[in-house]
Amino acid sequence: MNKISHAETFNIEPDSEPDSVEKINPSFEPETPEQIWTWIDDLEKTRSPRELWGLRGVIDRHAPGADKADEALVLRLQGKIAGASLLAPDYLIGAFVLPEHQKQGLGQRLIQESIERLRARGSKRILVEVCDQRALRIIQNLPDELQSILNIKESFRDD
């Protein structure tokens, strides 16, 4: 596992507006949950709470299920962290992509890679707790073969 540097730059700007995830060429690397939580602590020093509203309660150390996390999957773009997910046996605890990288298909790709990682670890059925409508749409757009192994728990109200 690569160690996340505290000195990493978090204000990541793509060189140009990408058309698709394939052009962005993301990489996915396993890390420890503790490394992700340190990254979150560092982010909170340089970002406003509004920028990170979706982060707290999704992949931070206080998120529901975070105490079960045994691995994190880090999404990197051009070597910089752009998002992460927390994993536990048979459980995708949460996933988050930084605001400047959202709406490019990266959230779906991160979730798909996370599910594949859990399958490779032996999971036959995977619990996914969905916290909002956007996350639910991402799950619903996954390939059928992945959706078929998911146990989706909606933890939001549709007002």
Number of domains observed in the structure of the chain: 1
In a domain, 62, yes or no: yes
In a domain, 102, yes or no: yes
The three state secondary structure string of 39-81 is HHHHHHHHCCCCCCCCCCCCCCCCCCCHHHCCEEEEEEECCEE
In a domain, 1, yes or no: no
For the stretch 29-88, pLDDT in tens is: 999 999 999 998 998 899 888 878 777 778 888 888 889 999 999 999 988 999 999 999
In a domain, 21, yes or no: no
Boundaries of domain holding 122: 27-154
